[in-house]
Amino acid sequence: MIEVVSRGLSDLTIVSAADLSTARDWADFGRLLSRLKLDRGLSFIQIQKRAEALSLQRSLPPATVNPIMKGMRRPAKESLECLLEVFDVRPAERTAWLSAWQRLVETLSATSLPRFDEVSPRQLGVHAAITAGDSSGELPVYVQRDFDDHLRSHLSEQIDRGRFVLLVGRSSSGKTRSLYEAVRVVAPNWPIVQPSGTAEIIDLLHGTRQRIIVWLDEMQRFLGADPRLTKEHVIRLLQFPALVVATLWSDDYLMRRSPGGSGVPADLQNDRRLLDLAEVVSVSAELSGEERAAAVQAARTDPRIRLALAVQDAGLTQVLAAGPDLLRRWEHAPDPYAKAVISFAADARRLGVLSPITEATFESAIGGYLTSSQRVNRPPRWLADALAFSQQEVHGAVAALATRDDGRTGRLTGYVVADYVAQHIRRAQCPPAGAWEALVTGVEDAEDLRRLAFAATARMRYRHEEQALRRLLELHGEGVVELAGVLLRSGRVQEALDLLRQHLDATPDDRVAAARHAHIATLARRVGELRTAAEAGDAEAGRRLAELCADGGVADALRARADAGSLLAEEDLAALLADRGAVDELRSRADSGKQPAADALAELLASHGRRDLLQQRAERGDQAAARQLMKLRDSTTAADGAAVQAQIAHLRRGIIGGDDAAARQLTTLLFDLRNEAELRREVDAGTLQAAERLVALLNADENVDRSFVDRLRTHGLEADGAPCVPGEA
């Protein structure tokens, strides 16, 4: 129980209005806040717990409060208001605090922001380049890209009304360098801000309106975050006017631009709305003919370009960033421990963990990448030596792992992996269980935990999704709605209701949680009916129960409306069942005279090339089956195996390269080919829609036990790919 502080600020004049008026920067402001903290006698953990006890709108974890009080970070206005509430500062004194905060926001924004041409390209995220011979200068000569004129036109056109431009491409494709060169031409004298999170952008909106560059390199840090960057935030920035410029990995862009629907989380729908606002410029990792000619010209004066052009198995931009050499170092690491360290760091990045990884987390996770003998016979300095190898620079420029500090000299906080390495190794391998668990227990950042949970969902690793959401709830008081959804999917309806009720008792104005509670409560009676029937031996009721928990009652509601005579519901149900590979139910409904089911069943069988079943149905008078059978006879007889594999490889490159439709096309192709092994590979890679297509494929196979499909749908897979057994830890 946290003792409620009863004294007001003015009682002891701990911090006066005069003190606040002398604060010159955020370091001074942080010291004044620390004085309040010391007077109230609250630890950082007690601050967090008191904020929760007061049901404040914003969480105050130590990771947020500590940097603020050390003057390392400007407090978001909401965070400051919460702190003043926690410290029981009276309303009159709060006005003085907020006035001081507003003054610092305006004066520091106006006076301390550097101009764009005063910031080095390395500070803006441009990759360090290899060294070669007598090369000079921080960066190699810029090779003109085909999209440069298009990009600069996007930036400069009606610049006084603000612009939002996003460059999308693979790691080390030259996105940030091209953006840097474009802004350097269009707005070199504009002040620039590099926000570390959305809270700083929200603060910026409260400050003085001025023309400004908002630099959002690696925009994934702001997507799905808390608070989330929204379309509305960017629209307000554009009115400053602001040049909002950003870069994003292709696979991150693809994931967030995929079609919406009832199964897509709200934060992804928000991200899609935001990305729709941007002028998008695609950046290819390979040079066109004209770009390569420009590179040859540049190579006459820059030995780094000359060296990069001589490499045959990688692109110019990748070689300049020494990417292929980093991959070779990983492949030929001196021992399994060095390779495992890099592998885990790459896996963590692909799972959405952007925070530096600590040595303790490495030590906890590495076991899953080693054999039993390697785990038992580890050398005394295995981790230190492995990290040292991973930090060795290639061509004096980049390393597989780079160190990060907390802003103070000599204070190592952890390691981050090079983007190119993260994108190009272990894509189709799901991290071992130890890696998931080490990240769940070692990560504290709320956005990292959210991304970790989403990555687990995409890979059907529902056990680890639940672990990440429970950690998010424990540390930050967030994720309760998502966690309730996980519990519902696995059939733990009462546990989901209890969780939401406990949350609503503490936070009664959470409308999203209240709506989820009402929805699950509505489903509870139907769940009880189906469970009772299933326990009595009704196999069909068991399947309906698993379906109800997995989709939240969508199919069950459609089925009820269709059975009541709604043709529209019948059509929607048929389409849904076909998408889920529900051959048995489609056949049953088709045989009972439901034409939409007959049409959907025939199309599904045709997509799988099931001439035998189509023939049987056509002979019994099924006209839809006869039409699809005729189409199959008129089409090309058989797909060439080599051509199909080439198409699969092409689509996989498209996924990495940011092709919006590539993931959907690939998973649909693999579903139609009934290629379970390749679909499982895409599930392990986290390809969006792969999990749904895999379940549908198994559901459509008459040789697969339906109860197995139900367990897979509700409980998912273990990290090693084995089906998760309900009830096992």
pLDDT for residue 271 is more than 90: no
Task: Report the pLDDT averaged over residues 109-122.
Answer: 79
CA distance 416 to 186: 32
**What secondary structure letter does DSSP report for 717?**
B
Number of domains making up the chain: 5
Q: Examine the domain organization and report whether 331 and 459 are in the same domain.
A: yes
SS3 26: helix
Peptide linkage before 191 cis (omega within 30 of 0): no
Amino acid at 47: I
Look-up of token digits 């003057």: 71
300 in any annotated domain: no
CA distance 699 to 581: 5
pLDDT of residue 406: 64
Q: Examine the domain organization and report whether 219 and 99 are in the same domain.
A: no
**23 and 29 in contact (C-beta within 8 Å)?**
yes
412 in any annotated domain: yes
- More confident call, 294 vs 406: 294
Q: Examine the domain organization and report whether 606 and 666 are in the same domain.
A: no
CA distance 496 to 502: 10
pLDDT of residue 13: 57
Q: Examine the domain organization and report whether 608 and 647 are in the same domain.
A: no
Q: How confident is the model at residue 504 (pLDDT cuts 50, 70, 90)?
A: very high
pLDDT of residue 151: 95
User: What strand order describes the sheet that includes 192-193?
Assistant: 192-193, 212-216, 242-249, 163-169, 279-283
Judged by average pLDDT, the poorest of 525-534, 545-554, 638-647 is 638-647
99 in any annotated domain: yes
Q: How confident is the model at residue 661 (pLDDT cuts 50, 70, 90)?
A: confident
232 in any annotated domain: yes
pLDDT for residue 611 is more than 80: yes
Q: Examine the domain organization and report whether 163 and 260 are in the same domain.
A: yes
Q: Examine the domain organization and report whether 231 and 121 are in the same domain.
A: yes
SS3 723: strand
pLDDT of residue 303: 84
CA distance 558 to 576: 9
Q: What are phi and psi of 145, to 5 degrees?
A: -105, 155
Which of 128, 109, 278, 281 is CA-nearest to residue 192? Answer: 109
**172 and 127 in contact (C-beta within 8 Å)?**
yes
Which of 433, 408, 169, 171 is CA-nearest to residue 284? Answer: 169
Task: Report the pLDDT averaged over residues 63-91.
Answer: 83
442 in any annotated domain: yes
pLDDT for residue 370 is more than 60: yes
How much of the chain is helix, strand and coil, in % rounded to 5?
60, 5, 35
**What percentage of the chain carries pLDDT values higher than 90?**
51
pLDDT for residue 260 is more than 80: no
Q: Examine the domain organization and report whether 600 and 678 are in the same domain.
A: no
pLDDT for residue 18 is more than 70: yes
Q: Examine the domain organization and report whether 566 and 680 are in the same domain.
A: no
Task: Report the pLDDT averaged over residues 77-86.
Answer: 88
Judged by average pLDDT, the poorest of 61-70, 289-298, 424-433, 559-568 is 61-70
- More confident call, 105 vs 21: 21
Q: Examine the domain organization and report whether 581 and 631 are in the same domain.
A: yes
Q: How confident is the model at residue 10 (pLDDT cuts 50, 70, 90)?
A: very low
pLDDT of residue 309: 81
pLDDT of residue 261: 52
pLDDT for residue 137 is more than 90: no
- More confident call, 212 vs 171: 212
**Domain termination site, one of 61, 89, 108:** 108
At 240-252, the pLDDT tens digits run 999 999 999 888 8
CA distance 153 to 164: 12
Other C-beta atoms closer than 10 Å to the C-beta of 178 total: 25
508 in any annotated domain: no
Q: Is 414 left (phi over 0), alpha (psi -120 to 50) or beta?
A: left
SS3 192: strand
**Domain termination site, one of 478, 510, 528:** 478
Predicted TM-score (pTM) of the model is 0.67
Containing structural domain, residue 394: 324-478
pLDDT of residue 218: 86
Q: What SS3 string covers 483-552? A: HHHHHHHCCCHHHHHHHHHHHHHHCCCCHHHHHHHHHHHHHHHHHHHHHHHHHCCCHHHHHHHHHHHHHC
Average pLDDT over all residues of the chain: 86
Task: Report the pLDDT averaged over residues 124-143.
Answer: 77
Task: Report the pLDDT averaged over residues 344-349.
Answer: 95
At 218-241, the pLDDT tens digits run 898 888 677 889 999 999 999 999
CATH number of the domain encompassing residue 48: 1.10.260.40
Task: Report the pLDDT averaged over residues 345-357.
Answer: 93
CA distance 369 to 464: 18
pLDDT of residue 2: 40
Task: Report the pLDDT averaged over residues 666-694.
Answer: 91
pLDDT of residue 410: 55
Other C-beta atoms closer than 10 Å to the C-beta of 630 total: 13
- Go through 681-716 and write b for each residue having 16 or more CB atoms within 10 A of its CB, e for each that does not: bbbbbbbbbbbbbbbbbbbbbeeeebeebbbbbbbb
Q: How confident is the model at residue 56 (pLDDT cuts 50, 70, 90)?
A: low
pLDDT of residue 175: 92
pLDDT for residue 6 is more than 70: no
**Domain termination site, one of 252, 276, 295:** 295
563 in any annotated domain: yes
Q: How confident is the model at residue 588 (pLDDT cuts 50, 70, 90)?
A: very high
Q: How confident is the model at residue 11 (pLDDT cuts 50, 70, 90)?
A: very low
Q: Examine the domain organization and report whether 168 and 269 are in the same domain.
A: yes
Q: Examine the domain organization and report whether 75 and 194 are in the same domain.
A: no
Calculate ∠ Cα 516-489-682, nearest 5°: 120
SS3 413: strand
538 in any annotated domain: no
Which of 215, 136, 222 is CA-nearest to residue 447? Answer: 222
Token output for 619: 């002979």
pLDDT of residue 8: 38
pLDDT of residue 133: 59
Judged by average pLDDT, the poorest of 182-186, 403-407, 692-696, 716-720 is 403-407
pLDDT for residue 553 is more than 90: yes
At 315-342, the pLDDT tens digits run 777 777 777 788 888 999 999 999 999 9
Q: How confident is the model at residue 729 (pLDDT cuts 50, 70, 90)?
A: very low
Which of 666, 665, 672 is CA-nearest to residue 609? Answer: 672
Q: Examine the domain organization and report whether 140 and 274 are in the same domain.
A: yes
CATH number of the domain encompassing residue 282: 3.40.50.300
Strands (E) located in 135-268: 163-169, 192-193, 212-216, 242-249
Judged by average pLDDT, the poorest of 85-89, 266-270, 511-515 is 266-270
Task: Report the pLDDT averaged over residues 616-630.
Answer: 90
At 449-498, the pLDDT tens digits run 999 999 999 999 999 999 999 999 999 889 999 999 999 999 999 999 99
Q: How confident is the model at residue 398 (pLDDT cuts 50, 70, 90)?
A: confident
Give the burial class of 161: count Cβ atoms within 10 A of its Cβ; 0-12 exposed, 13-18 middle, 19 or more buried: exposed
At 512-546, the pLDDT tens digits run 999 999 999 999 999 999 999 999 999 899 999 99
